[in-house]
Amino acid sequence: MLHFDNVHKIEPAATLMLAAEIERCRKLRPYVGGLIVNGTYPPDTDVFLQLREMGFYKLIGVPDREEVPDNRETSRRPRFLNFFTFDTVESVVAAQLTELVSVGAFAISEKLKGRMTGAVKEAMGNAVEHAYMTPGYYPTLDGRWWCAAYVDPMMGEMMIILYDQGVGVSGTLDADLFDLIRSIVTTRSWRLSDGYMIAAATELYRTSTGQSGRGRGFRDMKKFVDSCDDGELRVLSNSGSYRYMKGGEQISDESLSIGGTLVEWRVRHGQPVDFEDA
């Protein structure tokens, strides 16, 4: 039972993780007697409409109460895109997502749209190809990733969030990549923990596949942050937390694991975005 009675705000990333966990439970623990997930609708109108706009109710299999009107002014508030989830790399979906957020937030060149699409595809590929390489503590929907996004036309802001329930960054590295990350950690006088391994992984420009053009997704996400008025790249993986902002980064380790990897990429800009290749 999900009780939203006292919920007055819910972050998009939290909504996505909750929806992913519910879907995992529904798929792996089917209940023939009826709904395995039920609960209360939020009495707070904004929270209810946000969840409905994100496709939360449809994803978990409960009525989304279409009869309730949405009278909010769409041009003066964030617009949430519907959740989507796949277990393959979806190039067309990545391109469509890039187009939607760029049109709704700020203009970018066709070249940079390609870079943005590539970064999103790489995050998808990491989930499909690496995140479920070894069994985790809990049963999972192997290869499955979930995505959410929003645009805020008034602020010129966009956010893309991708999440998987795999074994985390530290559990997806082969021996060669682990040695590279360990050398980065040692050079920077960091600890070999989840948080610092995430930070080191964002500095690698290739992956264990060795494919051309792979491994640059985090670099391009960081360059967008550096080139915009405001923004951040936040990566949570197992117990590690990494946050990159213009001019600095924050690294920490928490006492609890999120059970997977969450990538949250948010940028805000008041004019067309452009940056030079490194």
Per DSSP, the chain holds a count of helices (H) and strands (E) of: 8, 7
pLDDT score for 73: 83
Share above pLDDT 70 across residues of the chain, in percent, rounded to a whole number: 86
Q: Would you state the torsion angle of the CA atoms of residues 231, 210, 123, 196, taken in this order, to the nearest 10 degrees?
A: -60
DSSP string, 126-156: HIIIIITSS--SS---TT-EEEEEEEETTTT
pLDDT band at 110 (very low <50, low <70, confident <90, very high): confident
* Mean pLDDT, the chain, integer: 85
> Given this structure, which CATH class describes domain 75-268?
alpha beta
pLDDT band at 194 (very low <50, low <70, confident <90, very high): confident
pLDDT band at 189 (very low <50, low <70, confident <90, very high): low
pLDDT score for 208: 44
How much is the pTM? Answer: 0.88
Q: State both tokens at 18.
A: 């909750």
Q: Where in the chain are the domains? A: 1-67, 75-268
* Rounded-to-integer distance, Cα 71 and Cα 182, Å: 53
DSSP string, 82-93: EEEEESS--HHH
> Is pLDDT at 51 greater than 90 in this prediction?
yes
Q: State both tokens at 133.
A: 């390489």
Place of tokens 């995505």: 147
pLDDT (average), residues 171-197: 71
Eight-class DSSP state of 39: B
pLDDT score for 68: 94
* Rounded-to-integer distance, Cα 202 and Cα 236, Å: 12
pLDDT score for 176: 61
Greater confidence (254 vs 73) lies with: 254
* Rounded-to-integer distance, Cα 249 and Cα 232, Å: 9
What are the CB-based long-range contacts (under 8 Å, 24+) for 189-197? Answer: 190/251, 193/239, 193/240, 193/253, 194/168, 194/169, 194/170, 194/237, 194/238, 194/239, 194/240, 194/253, 195/239, 195/240, 195/241, 195/242, 195/251, 195/252, 195/253, 196/240, 196/251, 197/169, 197/170, 197/240
Cβ pair 130, 71 in contact under 8 A: no
